[in-house]
Amino acid sequence: MKKSKYISKIPDAKGWVNYTDEEEVIWHDLYVRQIDNIQNRACQEYMEGIDKIGLSKDKIPQLPEVNERLLDLTGWQVASVPALIDFETFFKLMADKKFPAATFIRTREEMDYLQEPDIFHEIFGHCPLLSLPVYADFMHEYAQIGLSVDHATRVMLARLYWFTIEFGLIQTQQGLRIYGGGILSSYGETKYALESDKPLRKPLNVLDAFRTPYRIDIFQSVYFVIPNFDALFKSLHSDLLALIEEARKLGMHKPLFPPKEQSDEAKC
């Protein structure tokens, strides 16, 4: 497993983390910048989730506070983990309705770009939608499937997670909106995902998603769109293992992005 240069902070016996003043300011600056950026771009369920779980610009959220609200809303919790975890740990936690979150926050030098998921990405990007029952149910059932298969199949399942939970778009009555946490925590990709004429946007097809390559260090070249969250949940009720086998037989689509050494557009 790849090593991270970041180290998660160790919570005390009550689950609280002691953040420095500078780290609190970084959260404030990230929050203020992004909360304005996502207006009329994030889906309404996400915006409502921010209030439901009590996020604000004033301080880095403490996991016990978030957990108290999530437990009442959907039965989920957030679990403190090291900066990077393996598939086995990830699926075990999520199957137990515990969303893994590293407790470090990015440095000011990496406000716009880091590959490791920090607490801003995990809590601001993902946790608001964990207050939505159908989204939370998708996460739980997805993890149960992932826990039951081998590593190679988990790698394929990760593609579905990437193109939905991390970088998914949703069609609403107000127009195309964002629900993927990887976009919602990214200042640059929030605008790019909806407004750029460069990426391809198409309806979510699970087989198609399994065959679509991606890179983690650039703005995405393909975004999959769901019509609603019920459709996202129902996507798990197709025969995912059969679709994975079919995807393997058909092979991957040709990448719509350049090789890594030729690209200089970094994902925020």
The C-alpha atoms of residue 195 and residue 138 are separated, in whole angstroms, by: 28
The radius of gyration of the chain's CA atoms, rounded to the nearest angstrom, is 18
User: Is 166 assigned a ligand-binding role in the annotation?
Assistant: yes
Q: Give CA separation, 243 vs 77, 185, 207, in Å.
A: 31, 30, 6
Q: How far apart are CA 264 and CA 93, in angstroms?
A: 35
Residues in the chain: 268
Distance, in Å, from the CA atom of 90 to the CA atom of 146, rounded to the nearest integer, reads: 9
Question: In whole angstroms, what is the distance from residue 134 CA to residue 260 CA?
Answer: 36
Residues in a beta bridge with 101 = 80
Does 151 belong to an annotated binding site? no
Q: For residue 236, which phi and psi values (nearest 5 degrees)?
A: -75, -15
Tokens of 241: 């293992």
Residue given tokens 């590293």 in the structure block: 102
DSSP code per residue over 41-80: TB-HHHHHHHHHTT--SSSPPPHHHHHHHHHHHTS-EEEE
| Spatial contact of 91 and 112, defined as CB atoms under 8 Å apart | no
Whole-number Å distance between alpha carbons of 268 and 265: 9
Ligand-binding annotation for 126, yes or no, is yes
* Residues of each annotated binding site: 121, 126, 166
* Residues of each annotated binding site for Fe cation: 121, 126, 166
